[in-house]
Copies of this chain bind each other. A is one copy, B any other.
């Protein structure tokens, strides 16, 4: 209750506003605004005065006020699907770096959180704030559960989807790994190793998984595997992988190699195989997808497809930049950009 009548010391007063700067510089608010927005028609002298005043006061424009006033602000929002997957961190980093090069501000927010239990749900709070902040563009990274709920955003600003297939009609571009190329790389590698019976574990749990399954089928068909290649359904979890392997073991139809939908699933496959006494790669070869840091650990040494995440991030950023530059109204729909992956061969697929 005790009002401090006098500012006793260097009291933490509230940050200086544009008005403070105007007063200090002896000009009007609008001139200050002009200076800070790169206005051309400002005399050198006044510009100097304003800049000095701002410096002295430690003034920084309030982004929230800007956003409210201008109706939109010049920054692109990067929405990461979840914090668990280090894969996405790479993409985000690369995208942000590329945008920064072009002088674009960014804001990174997460789209999902654990719901206290284990599973993830859309973080509506975050999305709401983001919407109200009126970013000038949106890049989503990874599959986002309630993508449709972003409709008011995607409909009004250029949107680029990275490393997912969430795209609705108004998405400017989707940048993702070329799953067909990736799976063909693995299949070819295994075929070269003399593998003739081949299984894909995955396919459930999302569009990416489905896409990789289709890619697998196409590749083995093209290479004439026929009945000797099939799919054992599983989601992205380790448990799913274990069940799939369990089915293979039970039916006595163990293939010579298993390709998993991603690295985590691959680990599950290896674990299940070894628990059943089948050693990897001797008893059965295994390969994954994503080339996460996991696979490089010597004890794991997992052959995996490297999607080139940094490039995905960079290209997504560039698509964003293009779309923003293209102020013709009809932002050019770039469509899908498939980034060519490469294969990283490690112990899990090589016969000793």
Contact = CB atoms under 8 A, between A and B. Distances in A.
A64 interface: yes
A15 B152 contact: yes
A129 B125 contact: no
Nearest to A66: B132
**Interface size bucket, A side?**
35 or more
A271 interface: yes
Nearest to A101: B116
Given A89-B84, A93-B113, A94-B116, A133 B129 contact: yes
Contact of A107 (B98, B115, B126, B297): B126
Contacts of A93: 113-116
A97 B297 CA distance: 33
A123 B109 contact: no
A115 B132 contact: no
A65 interface: yes
Contact of A90 (B80, B105, B114, B156): B114
A60 B242 CA distance: 45
A155 interface: yes
A123 B99 CA distance: 13
Given A64-B64, A93-B114, 6 more contacts: A64-B67, A92-B114, A94-B116, A97-B113, A274-B298, A297-B300
